[in-house]
Amino acid sequence: MRIGVLTGGGDCPGLNPAIRGIVFRAIDFNYEVVGIFEGWKGLIKNTSKTLTLEEVEEIISKGGTILGTSRTNPTKKEEDMQKVFENFKAMNLDALIAIGGEDTLGVANKLHQKGLPVVGVPKTMDNDLSCTDFTFGFDTSVTIAIDALERLRDTARSHRRVMVFEVMGRHAGWVALYTGIGGGADWILIPEKSVEVDKMCEHLKKAHARKKYAIVVVSEGVQLPSANAEKEELDAFGHMILKKRGIGEAIAEEIEKKTGIETRTAAIGHIQRGGSPTLFDRILGTRVGVKAVELIQEKNFGKMACLKGNEVIAAPLSEAVSTLKTVDESWVNFANKLIK
């Protein structure tokens, strides 16, 4: 049997451990693994190579993806969808493993519905995929963010400033929430909750009076009604590209205007995506990669390997991509207990 594997969407630490886990488990079943380059683009253009044990044996500690990635969406054009099916046959594939987030797995689900034997592996540093407790990439990205926050704390304390720290996460606030809680921030802004500017500024004045500095963590997807953020272009999946919104700058301006305290901002951006994966992401990436091959061996297609508690199980792709997993009220309440 020949299994194709691709990595689509944004890169994150843990992709290479997942690829490695796939190859290692495939060897047990005498399956051949074909790496498809640059996500769905590789299936459209028929670019791939066989992945051997020697090629993947030492990639467990490497960030990014050895296969490359893209945000190509084959469902936008009928001819691209046709190419996907044609090249699946041209590569002599018997099954396909798609590693990605809601967009990549959304395409995988549509292909499964059209008869392609496909299984999914969830990845996203945003941790916003349903049916799984965590996705690999998240733990590493938050660990990097907390390290950056601690460095910002030093300069905030030295200059008696408020520091606004903008993190990634798109339209789910998990990265900001965990960074803020784990880094001991004085205020956390997430897309799921409206910004209470006056309440935030009053609290920051108290925090600053007590310790001579304050830290605010803001998710890139937060909406600030008073900010005139220009409309962004959309990506191939119809999502607004957030890079030019500058929400951190807008929040910092509001804080300085209302508190009179010198306020600076920093955005970690794509630094969160790179670097060696943490132990958690190495283990999780490996486990879901192994599980994906076992789902193929069982002919259990249309499913995604996911983490529930401490078990890696199968969940329908259709359920995994049906709704975005966002921060719920219980987490908001927990975070509020730590704002003093």
Q: How does pLDDT run across 282-330, given as a tens digit for each residue?
A: 999 999 999 999 999 999 999 999 999 999 999 999 999 999 999 999 9
What pTM value is reported for the model? 0.91
Q: What's the confidence (pLDDT) of residue 122?
A: 96
Alpha-carbon separation of residue 127 from 61, 67, 103, 131 (angstroms): 21, 22, 13, 11
Phi, psi at 143, each rounded to 5°: -60, -45
Are 6 and 135 contacting, i.e. CB atoms less than 8 angstroms apart? no
> Residue 229: is its pLDDT beyond 70?
no
Candidate list 11, 103, 126, 128, residue with the active-site label = 126
Both tokens assigned to 270: 């794509």
Tokens representing 256 are: 């300085």
Separation in Å, CA 233 to CA 2, 74, 197, 245: 39, 19, 27, 11
- Tell me the one-letter amino acid at 135: T
Report residue 32 as tokens: 């051949």
The pLDDT value recorded for residue 38 is 96
Q: Is there a catalytic annotation at residue 328?
A: no
Confidence tier at 222 by pLDDT (50, 70, 90):
very high
Indicate the DSSP class of residue 276: P
Kindly tell me the sign of the dihedral angle through the C-alpha atoms of 206, 211, 216, 217. negative
Strands (E), 76-207: 95-100, 118-122, 162-167, 187-189
Question: How far from the centroid of its chain's Cα atoms is residue 70's Cα?
Answer: 14
Amino acid at 184: G
pLDDT at 239: 52
Q: Which residue bears the tokens 């794509």? A: 270
Q: Are 172 and 164 in contact (CB under 8 A)?
A: no
Least confident of 75-79, 122-126, 234-238, 333-337: 234-238
Looking at residue 230, its pLDDT comes to 53
